Amino acid sequence: MLASVWLAVAAPLLGFLVLSLFGKRLPRRLVSAAGVGSVGVAFLSSLLVFWSYLQIAPAPGGVELSLGNWFDTGGLSPRFAVTIDPLSLVMLLVVTGVGFLIHLYSAEFMREDPGLSRFFAYLNLFVGSMLVLVLARNLLLLYLGWEGVGLCSYLLIGFWYRDPQNGAAARKAFIVTRIGDTALAVGLLLLFTELGTLDLPELLARASLRWPLGSGYAVAAAALLLFGAAGKSAQLPLQTWLPDAMAGPTPVSALIHAATMVTAGVYLILRTHALFLLAPPVLLAVAVIGAATLLLAGCSALVQRDLKRVLAYSTISQLGYLFLALGVGAWSAAVFHLVTHAFFKALLFLAAGAVILAQQHEHDIFKMGGLRRRLPVVFWTFLAGASALAGLPLLTAGFYSKDLILFSAWSSGHGGAWLFAAGLAGALLTALYSFRLVFVVFFGESKTEVTHEPGRCITVPLVILAILSLVGGFIELPQNFMGGGVLSRFLDPVLAQGDPHGGPWSEAFAQIVAGLVSLLGLFLAWRFLLRAPRVAAGEIRWPLIGERLRRFWFDGFGFDRLYDALLIRPFVSLSARNAADVVDRPFLGLAWLARGGHRLLARTQTGKVRWYAAAVAVGAIVVVAVELFR
């Protein structure tokens, strides 16, 4: 039954083909059924594969299924092969499960959109490409899925392409992530040149045998992979594309931020973690990048006015936590938070979409308010998601996964007190901006009329994701609670964990501090947003320096302006000045010769048959003469 994994991959890709070729001729209900049903089939197949895997006792390397060679040239012969192991199974369930709920939500959210078939075709291709990425046994097939999700992000972010701003956001996402993709491609070339293979198990085994700890080749390869991962997962310095990706429809935002594209970089590092262990400087860089990103993005989320941009910066910040976990070697903690983040971030985006739809497509949170009575299901589910995001102690999945990262940052041999402090500061910021959204959007006076009540296709996914956001943490309870969780034991064959230096008391200390910090953030948000009407209305004036700092945070720490000044304007100016550069002259000369040759040949076409016959005769005589007298 493990062969059902091919159905999981093929179903959304088949849905893409059907909707691309025949979608415009199908009734709208059938279009929605095909789009949602294909991912539903993928999810059911994933459950079957998971159950079948649990019934056998596979080798530590997992189970390989192959359809044969892709090509064979120059010593490179990658196969169409997938790996079924604990890590790929977790990703398989997350991508198809959360993806199915987002597709179901889309059936109502996009019901009246004229491009419905195109939307579901792109969405199906997105899920199919992500499944290729997470199941690939070799890095070349992984790269195929990697580029597939990049293409789909461009198509979906710019889905409403008639608005120039949407097209600009799509191009920005495509170009910025291509920078990381280029680094990844160079890294793959380096790995193949030095190790002679791109098959993941064999590549990692050869790297461990041939490269000593701290080897220059290992550091270079890991650094290139890290840069590629930073592009897809929106980490410093390639994080600027993600806030603008909000130009796409809300289900797209949920899919990109929760289950697919942004987790690709994290998965790449997880899958090649043995290579990163050979490059300690790069592993430290992963942790530093994650810590810096979670703080910078948390500050930016705290001052945004657009509901979806707050969540976008929140995603960047939470991905920073994932990189922090990877950098300190807490592999299962990273997977755990990836899973819980998929639940509560998909929930928050989908609930935000329901709010925006109900508020006449208003995005400004300070033009909302009082929605907890008008949209009770949306309010309670959004509250569950915000609580999980803030990591409220004991009650939410986010608490358990974030606490495990903080404890690992404190106790791991790769961690330290300053990484733990950065994680705590990020936790405080997270609680502040999470409940800032709750109090501003759902409390106070209503400022915009509610014009749409969500139907079942919207509320059912919200309720399911809300439940998962609350109870999902029970798959990995702390060691000092009930002896640890099932997730880390399940992942052990793939992601062997190092023993943390701290004991039960150290873990309890981390839990207490993390819980108190989250509650402090909740209290401060309540104090300044519910007890101070001017703050809740967005009318507060910051002091001069504070206002400049707020604008700096609001603009994402000025990275867009910096890149515009240092890279974009000089490049555009240089291109304009060098439009007639001497380098172009040889190519212009070739074009001139081609045009001249065309004119000469054109003159031979006189239309006089006698001249054509004479030319043929003369040519024949010349050929015969050459053969006779040579």
The pLDDT, as a whole number, for residue 499 is 46
Which parts of the chain register pLDDT below 50?
499
**What per-residue confidence (pLDDT) applies to 3?**
86
Q: Could you identify the residue written with the tokens 């994933």? A: 46
Are 282 and 226 in contact by the 8 Å Cβ rule? The answer is yes
Listing DSSP states for 160-207 in one string gives STTSHHHHHHHHHHHHHHHHHHHHHHHHHHHHHHHHS--BHHHHHHHH
CB 175 within 8 A of CB 163: no
The pTM of the full predicted model, rounded to 2 decimals, is 0.90
Number of helices and strands in the chain (H, E): 29, 2
Only one residue has tokens 């997962």, namely: 233
Q: How far apart are CA 304 and CA 129, in angstroms?
A: 32
Q: How far is residue 221's CA from residue 215's CA, in Å, rounded to a whole number?
A: 10
Burial grade of 296 (CB within 10 A; 0-12, 13-18, 19 or more): buried
439: closest CA among 350, 376, 529, 538? 529
Return the closest-CA partner of residue 551 out of 429, 543, 172. Answer: 543
Q: Letter for the amino acid at 158?
A: G
Task: Report helix, strand or coil for 66.
Answer: strand
DSSP state of 258: I
- In three-state secondary structure terms, 79 is strand
pLDDT of residue 580: 63
Question: Domain boundaries in the chain?
Answer: 286-540
Find out whether the peptide bond into 237 is cis, omega within 30 degrees of 0: yes
